[in-house]
């Protein structure tokens, strides 16, 4: 089963939190597929990851680059894994039918958006019922993360989001 971590964005937007989580993933030796809600969103995140910090380099690409298998981080709006990733990052409320194909999954959602919070709760219930290990993190005022809940056995639903 996949270890799924829910990241409830409450103080910093996705564009600020995402690069930090991706850097940590690469440092851990993971390959990543980042799935966004549209091609336009993929293009936006692609541009952002090149420019978010002039002193940092986050190697990544998308389908328009034509080098999918070589990308440590691959950005897409499709439910795919062309770079043989270990970890899936979900944004914009998207989901994957291939969650079992990844060791880890991060589901980042905007805590200021009631629909995004409701969707995250629905995913928690669905993925918990499927037997995945779930952890819920809430963003702190400083932009870090604190664990608020986890399923302790299949069927638990102790995340309050």
Strands 145-150 and 133-139, bridge-based pairing: antiparallel
Determine the Cα–Cα distance for residues 41 and 116; give it in Å rounded to an integer: 16
- pTM value is 0.93
Domain 3-150 matching CATH 3.20.20.480: the answer reads no
pLDDT, tens only, 68-123: 999 999 999 999 999 999 999 999 999 999 999 999 999 999 999 999 999 999 99
pLDDT, tens only, 38-62: 999 999 999 999 999 989 889 999 9
Determine the Cα–Cα distance for residues 135 and 122; give it in Å rounded to an integer: 14
Strands 133-139 and 3-9, bridge-based pairing: parallel
User: Are residues 74 and 60 in contact, defined by beta-carbon separation less than 8 angstroms?
Assistant: yes
Q: Is 8 helix (H, G, I), strand (E, B) or coil?
A: strand
């Amino acid at each position: 089963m996949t270890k799924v971590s829910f990241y409830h964005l409450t103080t910093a937007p996705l564009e600020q939190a995402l690069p930090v989580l991706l850097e940590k993933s690469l440092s851990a030796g993971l390959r990543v597929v980042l799935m966004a809600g549209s091609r336009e969103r993929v293009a936006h995140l692609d541009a952002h990851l090149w420019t978010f910090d002039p002193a940092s380099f986050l190697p990544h690409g998308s389908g328009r680059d034509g080098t999918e298998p070589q990308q440590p981080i691959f950005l897409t709006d499709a439910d795919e894994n062309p770079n043989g990733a270990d970890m899936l990052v979900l944004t914009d409320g998207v989901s994957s039918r291939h969650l079992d194909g990844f060791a880890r999954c991060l589901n980042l959602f905007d805590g200021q958006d009631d629909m995004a919070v409701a969707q995250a709760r629905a995913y928690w219930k669905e993925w918990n019922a499927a037997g995945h290990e779930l952890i819920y993190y809430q963003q702190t005022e400083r932009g870090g993360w604190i664990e608020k809940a986890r399923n302790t056995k299949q069927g638990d639903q102790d995340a309050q989001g």
